[in-house]
Amino acid sequence: MSEILLVGEVNGGNLAEATAELIAHGKPLAESLTSSISVALLDQDSTSAAQEAISQGADKVYNIKDSLLGTYQTDAYLASLAKLIQEINPIAVLISKTEIGADIGARLAFRVDTGIVQDCIEVSVNSDNKIQANRPVFGGNCMATVVCESTPMMALIRPKTKEALEADTSRSGDVVDYNADLDESVIKNQVVERVEEVQEGIRLEDAARIVGGGRGMNGPEPFDNELKDLADTMGAAIGASRAAVDIGWVPYSYQIGLTGKKVAPDLYLLVGISGASQHMAGCSGSKNLVAINKDPDANIFRDARFGVVGDWEKVLPALTQQLKELM
């Protein structure tokens, strides 16, 4: 049986959420193409993650082993994956557009002499048994449908565009230890230093509730005061529009949008955010959008499920106080 290979990731010994979502994208394709789902894991501590991948729907897991794969290194990952693809000849390769996926996606396609559809939000199989993908273009204002013509068919899929399947711990599958047998000569770039940003509070990409601020906040102080007070009351993470980041009010790690983080919370409260397509491209998977904006014609009200037309300086304190009384 042909295989659909998913490039998986491991976080702290566990299967990354983005990989679980990728399996959910791959399952319907496998059914349409009469293929199996395989996941490649490149981590020295991936035993637990392999079983998690199977419980999420994978049929086979390749545990790629090599001394050069202790930490993420572009050249080592590329060489390992290219070798595996050339040996197993999968019908398709799916990659999640995480930091790692965005780094290796196009490079890997070049290595195995195929094309790649970038930044997909949905993939399916057409009548010619080709994978076709929908991807936002022109800043999210339009949607393009692109068909994979070369093999292996390859797509880079945006995270938070599909919910992971419910885990089934009774599922069984094959776990194959694959020796990449890399030569040190494949490493062309060296990592000089790693600086990890200290994560405070709820991780933005994983938050079930988000409070976001934009240019309409009129300064950095509201992010540390009114927005933080509301976020703490709701148990929410704080995000921001690109405009607020570019001005320097908050760091880039807060940015949601096409060039920022992609989020899909249950609730996203947008304060002083106009709803530009660049920002909406990063939160299109949100289940409920609630907007506060003093401009009744702001684009955000086209997408928001609920909206308040008013000055945030009056609306936000009243909302926070009411929530505190209800908690």
| Predicted confidence (pLDDT) at residue 281 exceeds the cutoff of 90 | no
Give me the residues paired with residue 177 across strands: 63
Average pLDDT over every residue of 270-296: 92
Strands lying side by side in the sheet with 117-120: 117-120, 153-157, 92-96, 3-7, 36-41, 60-65, 174-179
Query: Start-end ranges of CATH 3.40.50.1220 in the chain?
Result: 204-326
Q: Is residue 327 pLDDT above 80, yes or no?
A: no
Q: How far is CA 190 from CA 80, 83, 181, 187, in A?
A: 17, 21, 19, 7
The CATH T-level fold of domain 204-326 is Rossmann fold (3.40.50)
On the question of pLDDT at 274 being above 70, the answer is yes
pLDDT band at 141 (very low <50, low <70, confident <90, very high): confident
Predicted pLDDT of residue 259: 84
Q: pLDDT band at 1, cuts 50/70/90?
A: low
pLDDT band at 305; cut points 50, 70, 90: very high
Domain 3-186 classification at class level: alpha beta
> Facing residues of 307 across strands?
291
This prediction has a pTM of: 0.84
**pLDDT exceeds 80 at position 202:** no
pLDDT at 192 over 90: no
In which band, very low, low, confident or very high, does the pLDDT at 199 lie, cut at 50, 70 and 90?
Answer: low
Give span(s): CATH 3.40.50.620, the chain: 3-186
